Amino acid sequence: MGREPMRGQTDAAEHDENLYPAARLDAAREAATRAGLDALLICPGADLRYLTGYAALPLERLTCLVLSAEREPFLVVPALEEPAAHASPAGALGIEIAAWDETEDPYALVAARLSDRIGSVGIDNHMWAEKVMAFRAALPGARQELAGGVLSELRIRKSPREAEALRQAGAAIDRVHARMSEWLRPGRTEREVARDIAEAIVAEGHVRADFVIVGSGPNGASPHHEVSDRVIEAGDPVVVDIGGTTRDGYCSDSTRTYAAGEPPEEFRRLYEVLLTAQRAQTEAVRPGITAERLDAVGREIIANGGYGKNFVHRTGHGIGLEGHEEPYIVAGNERPLEPGMAFSIEPGIYLPGRFGARIEDIVLCTEDGGERLNLTSRELAVLE
């Protein structure tokens, strides 16, 4: 699903310097030096937006933020994008915006500004391969490495202003779930319901809907199902997993499972097991608990309820300027949680061919526990 920021947004929130503080540029330069990288090359995407606030569209023409220890940061942009770059929060950072003309070679321009002694460059993880290759040719002496680790370590702890942006995103998607009875009922197809939900995602405070999953009856047993033309039947359990991106660039993501009329008896039993697990996991969030322990808290409850082999995915993923980012709440991730980390808690139980259920909240790790950013009721909602 496309998660690239839109170009040319100039709303007030983007100009809030607390959301994109200039100090991040120095923090990134220092982190790069510690990682043994002489420079960072950052093209349009979440990393560029995090560092500058500039929601540039990825294009074939090169836009690239260059950070190195030896000189001041500069942002290379195509001449025709220069006004947009200046109008973005990047224009208020006090960095040089170097425009290149249509017939110039922007890679040579970057190389000429970096010293010959550059031995290694960190390339942002989502840079297009053709740009990576062009930088390789322009900087033949520089070893290329991924910059993702350096950037994700900065992005993994949200500032108070970022936490507020995620809180607003959570409230926006909660308003959509709160309206579900307007759309979800027997006789309508998943696709019809999803279309209404996508419209509401924008109407309730996002610039776009990133995904809409409506999995009714047996389709709910497939965690990767999106939508189909299946007609929702009376008594169907329906998994609704939805998210969008707000003007600030921060993502929402919340799942609730509904029943289109009284569901089968076993579904109610399964749902109680799932709800107990998801509640226990959200309550277990605190600094110091490891990601894998948090995963296990829910997995043990679901296994004891008899559905261990039906919880087929990790518990959750981090969220911020991207819908999926560090930290991942998964077995094998021994990293202790820290205040400022934000991630989903989304256990699910899936009975192939019959039905499934998932409950998902975004949770922020605080100094002394966890704060749920999705607050709609987690009880099974039976819509008549």
Give the residues lining the site for Zn ion (CB under 5 A).
Answer: 241, 253, 255, 344, 360
Shortest separation between residue 360's beta carbon and Zn ion, angstroms: 5
Q: Is 288 exposed, middle or buried (0-12, 13-18, 19+ CB in 10 A)?
A: exposed
Angle at 340 between CA 30 and CA 152, to 5 degrees: 40
Query: Count H helices, E strands: the chain?
Result: 10, 17
Shortest separation between residue 255's beta carbon and Zn ion, angstroms: 5
Shortest separation between residue 163's beta carbon and Zn ion, angstroms: 18
Which residues make Cβ contacts (< 8 Å) with residue 38, sequence separation at least 6? 32, 68, 69, 70, 114, 117, 118, 119, 120, 121, 142
Quick one: 84 or 212, whose CB is closer to Zn ion?
212
Rounded CA-CA distance 156/86 in Å is 28
Q: What are the DSSP E strand ranges found in 89-199?
A: 96-100, 120-123, 143-146
Shortest separation between residue 206's beta carbon and Zn ion, angstroms: 14
Quick one: 68 or 257, whose CB is closer to Zn ion?
257
Shortest separation between residue 174's beta carbon and Zn ion, angstroms: 13
In DSSP terms, 213 is beta-bridged to 241
| The two structure tokens encoding residue 39 | 């420079």
Angle at 377 between CA 188 and CA 381, to 5 degrees: 35
Shortest separation between residue 251's beta carbon and Zn ion, angstroms: 9
Shortest separation between residue 312's beta carbon and Zn ion, angstroms: 15
Instruction: Report which of 346, 257, 358 is spatially closest to residue 295, judged by C-alpha positions.
Output: 346
Which amino acid makes up residue 281? Q
Instruction: Report which of 80, 1, 81 is spatially closest to residue 44, judged by C-alpha positions.
Output: 81
Quick one: 25 or 172, whose CB is closer to Zn ion?
172
In three-state secondary structure terms, 217 is: helix
Shortest separation between residue 105's beta carbon and Zn ion, angstroms: 42
Quick one: 38 or 360, whose CB is closer to Zn ion?
360
Q: Phi first, then psi: what are they for 342, rounded to 5°?
A: -130, 135
Rounded CA-CA distance 43/50 in Å is 12
Quick one: 39 or 212, whose CB is closer to Zn ion?
212
Quick one: 196 or 253, whose CB is closer to Zn ion?
253
Alpha carbon separation from 10 to 90, 165, 265, 323 (Å, rounded): 11, 16, 52, 22
Quick one: 123 or 342, whose CB is closer to Zn ion?
342
Quick one: 68 or 255, whose CB is closer to Zn ion?
255
Shortest separation between residue 345's beta carbon and Zn ion, angstroms: 9
Quick one: 174 or 241, whose CB is closer to Zn ion?
241
